[in-house]
């Protein structure tokens, strides 16, 4: 009888060797995959870190609106939405003028300010802040065409019963500008007077409108009130003062008409202080763009449209030229 003996423990069959090699290969492959997974996790963590903020809170300055109660509600909604996206406290204030905003950006008590393109030029020239995003509006251009983009238009308003059909009809008449610093309520209307040849470069505003016939307001509403009260024949303001219910009551708007449009006017911008690092600026930019997608009604109420990313130099090119030309005018 033949007896088959089991091999000793120190001896392995060919099949057993193959099995050990296979198991070793599987273990090695697992370790490699695990290492890659850990590396990928590490990269993801780094990417998340790059999308986080290095500031503990965000301070935003908005321009005040006539309807204080409505703006307070909008500010609360904006702050809560930003806090949810950014994961840090958001404080919103409404300084009375751009000088306060510029000082806050310079001393780091304000991180982001929502200001006109004229203000944005001043901030950029003083190396205080740069444009993050700009407003995007739907409007009607001077030729009567529908327009959507990061510009809007300035208008001259008068009472409906007045005979005026254009700015040339206002020679020698009392008029109101929104303020001396307003882009749509002063800068662009004056630039248009120069472009039309109504007032030459280096000329005088009073030479056309008449001595003591020019009123400078403290904002859009103050200029329009001069017209409604019969103290001025026309007022230069932004188009949305007439076309939207943000500044005037319906009863007031129904008494007015547009006698001329001019522009385009570079839209208002969110500017971030220069001392914020690039990553912080990008994260805040993305958060603002996300909010206008998620909350279109809030965006319309606060900004008169949506927001969009723009090339800062290109966006401020036209108002820079306007600012230069208008600076040559005499009172």
Residue 214 has a pLDDT of: 97
Q: What is the mean pLDDT of residues 122-151?
A: 93
CATH of the domain at 132: 3.40.190.10
Whether residue 311 contacts residue 124, with contact meaning beta carbons closer than 8 Å, is answered with: no
Phi-psi region of 280 (alpha: psi -120 to 50; beta: other; left: phi over 0): alpha
Q: What is the DSSP letter of 260?
A: E
pLDDT digits (tens, 9 = 90+) for 29-58: 444 344 344 433 333 333 233 458 899 999
- Does residue 194 form part of some domain? yes
Q: Closest Cα to residue 100, out of 61, 145, 47?
A: 61
Residue 52 has a pLDDT of: 81
- CA triplet 78, 81, 85: central angle to 5 degrees? 135
- Does residue 6 form part of some domain? no
Q: How far apart are CA 153 and CA 239, in angstroms?
A: 6
Q: What is the mean pLDDT of residues 164-175?
A: 96
- Does residue 290 form part of some domain? yes
Q: Residues 97, 201: one domain?
A: no
H/E stretch holding 264: strand 256-266
Q: What is the DSSP letter of 140?
A: E
Tell me: pLDDT of 79 over 80: yes
Tokens of 268: 């208002």
Q: Residues 286, 239: one domain?
A: no
User: Helices (DSSP H) in 142-295: which residue ranges?
Assistant: 188-195, 205-209, 220-228, 239-243, 250-253, 278-294
pLDDT digits (tens, 9 = 90+) for 282-315: 999 999 999 999 999 999 888 889 999 999 999 9
Q: What is the CA radius of gyration of the chain?
A: 31
Q: How many CB atoms lie within 10 A of CB 202?
A: 10
Q: How far apart are CA 174 and CA 176, in angstroms?
A: 7
Residue 51 has a pLDDT of: 58
Instruction: Note down the domain range covering 215.
Output: 151-265
Q: Residues 255, 172: one domain?
A: yes
Q: What is the mean pLDDT of residues 55-79?
A: 87
- Does residue 241 form part of some domain? yes
Task: Give 294-300's long-range contacts (Cβ < 8 A, gap of 24+).
Answer: 294/81, 295/77, 295/81, 298/74, 298/77, 298/78, 298/81
């Amino acid at each position: 009888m033949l007896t088959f003996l089991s091999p000793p423990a120190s001896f392995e069959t060919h099949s057993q060797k193959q099995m050990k090699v296979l198991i070793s290969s599987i273990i090695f492959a697992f370790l490699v995959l695990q290492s890659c997974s850990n590396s990928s996790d590490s990269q993801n963590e780094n990417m998340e870190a790059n999308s986080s903020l290095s500031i503990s809170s965000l301070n935003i300055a908005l321009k005040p609106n006539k309807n204080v109660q409505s703006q307070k509600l909008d500010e609360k909604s904006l702050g809560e939405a930003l806090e949810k996206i950014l994961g840090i406290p958001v404080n919103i204030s409404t300084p009375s003028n751009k000088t306060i905003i510029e000082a806050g950006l310079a001393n780091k008590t304000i991180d982001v300010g929502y200001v006109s393109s004229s203000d944005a030029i001043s901030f950029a020239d003083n190396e205080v802040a740069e444009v993050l995003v700009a407003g995007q509006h739907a409007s009607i251009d001077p030729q009567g065409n529908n327009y959507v983009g990061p510009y809007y238009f300035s208008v001259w308003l008068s009472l409906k019963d007045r005979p005026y059909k254009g700015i040339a009809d206002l020679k020698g008449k009392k008029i109101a500008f929104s303020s001396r610093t307003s882009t749509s309520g002063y800068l662009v209307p004056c630039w248009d007077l120069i472009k039309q040849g109504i007032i030459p470069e280096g000329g005088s505003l009073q030479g056309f409108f008449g001595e003591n016939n020019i009123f400078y307001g403290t904002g859009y509403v103050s200029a329009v009130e001069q017209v409604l009260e019969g103290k001025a024949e026309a007022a230069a303001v932004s188009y949305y003062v007439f076309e939207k219910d943000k500044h005037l009551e319906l009863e007031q708007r129904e008494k007015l008409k547009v006698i001329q449009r001019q522009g385009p006017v570079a839209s208002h911008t969110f500017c971030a202080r220069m001392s914020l690092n690039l990553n912080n600026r990008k994260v805040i930019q993305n958060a603002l763009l996300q909010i206008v997608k998620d909350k279109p009604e809030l965006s319309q109420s606060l900004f008169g449209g949506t927001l969009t990313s723009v090339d800062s130099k290109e966006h401020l090119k036209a108002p820079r030229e306007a600012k230069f030309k208008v600076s040559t005018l005499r009172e």
